[in-house]
Amino acid sequence: MILNKILKPGLKSIICAGAILAGAASTTVKAQTVAPFKNGDRVAFVGNSITDGGHYHSYIWLYYMTHFPDMRITCYNVGIGGDVAKQIARRFDDDVLTKNPTVIALTWGMNDTGYFEWYRPDAQQTLQSRLDTSFKYYHQMEAKLQTLPNIKKILIASSPYDEYTYATPNNIYRGKSAALLKVADFQEEAARKNNWGFIDLNRPMTAINKREQEKNPTFSLTPNDRVHPDNDGHMVMAYLILKAQGLANQYVADVIVDASAKKVIKAENSKINKLETTANGVSFDYLAKSLPYPLDTVSRGWGNKKRQSEAMKLVPFMKEFNQELLTVKGLAAGNYQLKIDNEPIGKWSADALAAGINLAELTNTPQYQQAIQIMDLNEERWEIERRLRNHAFIEFNVLYDKGLLNADNRAAMDTVEKVAKKEIFVAGNKPNYLLSQYKSVRQAWQMEMDVLLNQIYKINKPVVHKISITPVN
């Protein structure tokens, strides 16, 4: 049930902690370099397993679904686990451009900078060879993108490799984090030369890791293997990308009512009608033009342990992106109950209401409950899309080199069966391929996603609520 997802008391302190950290956080984001998405955009997030199994693109889309309810965009997960630039380049036509994107957000680098190679005595020479190869295949994609002027391009520097956390004793590759910065510098320069967008996730996330590890050495945004961000890390990534788009400080709503003067002082991104004030308080009809951003309190995705909501301890998302402010001045001293649509929401003093409260922190409001439904439908869509990405893994990592790309025949299935006996990741994806080998199944999955999206964009429209504030003993 939706009501089961009402915020636990501990999360409110997490949200407040995120606001306190706002001034001190070392998460500086460069001035806006990337235009916000616009109505009708088809955004392809292209990358490796961090994109493939990750949530950052889904969290970004959820922001657009809730904050811009009359603007419909489409976001695609076009990641494949294990990919380096060479593999992304070879699937660019068949996997990326077939989405007919209007925006391509391209990230690579984590796999390009190697793993066990860092234990070799010639690690630096090996790295340079790997980077030369990586940049070579990037330039192939760059040349193709230069011929597509109608597509907006964004290069994204990878989330960091954390070689210093004590969260896990495994996968320590000294020097890999510095190598990723070389890729980030290359990406930034490539974006500058082409006048494309660029977003650096590496340095701001590294700064958070270092800050938090001073307090807790086992902290990491990539706690399980130093490579893959957990859900809180993906929410940090979404925050950084939205901030780079210049979307910070756009209110869900900002309402100021003066009860004693019986007037509306402010109604930003909202409308107030039927204002009534009596000795028993104040009431009015309230229509926000956005919905609050819902924060998931469930850990999602294979191997993840953190929750999206935990990112509120790390970045000032609530302060910058999730402000649904209600301020009521001119009330007599005392305590008051806030009701929305005649449902009790909470109690505050006249002074607290005069200072303003953030309704987006309150998960029992009808507008937050509406937003949770959008979040849940979006998660269902994410799960289905993952099946299609598992299918893409088989197509491009097993069948492509065998001349069986999109073959959908017995020879393709036999090949998968054979390779699965030797390759653990192919074996892990084989059960999915037993279904996805049939085009009709893949089409049905796409239709399921279409139904979910149509429902999201049907129910994401804010509605009028009756707000009443009455004195209590």
Percent of residues, the chain, with pLDDT higher than 70: 93
Cα gap 289→15, rounded to integer Å: 23
Each residue's pLDDT tens digit, 213-242: 999 999 999 999 999 999 999 999 999 999
Amino acid of residue 346: G
What's the distance, CA 169 to chain centroid? 28
The pLDDT score that the predictor gives to residue 278 is: 85
Each residue's pLDDT tens digit, 97-144: 999 999 999 999 999 999 999 999 999 999 999 999 999 999 999 999
pLDDT at 28 over 60: no
Q: Give start and end residues of each alpha helix (H) in 150-200.
A: 176-194
Angle (nearest 5°) at CA 302 between 360 and 51:
75
From start to end of 113-169, where are the E strands?
152-157
Percent of residues, the chain, with pLDDT higher than 90: 92
The pLDDT score that the predictor gives to residue 156 is: 98
| All domains in the chain, ordered by first residue | 2-244 (3.40.50.1110), 253-301+311-365+464-472 (no CATH)
Each residue's pLDDT tens digit, 168-181: 999 999 999 999 99
Q: What is the chain's mean pLDDT, rounded?
A: 93
The pLDDT score that the predictor gives to residue 110 is: 98
Q: Give how far Cα 283 sits from Cα of 253, 257, 277, 345, Å.
A: 17, 10, 6, 14
Cα gap 52→81, rounded to integer Å: 6
pLDDT at 20 over 60: no
Cα gap 434→109, rounded to integer Å: 31
Average pLDDT over every residue of 408-414: 97
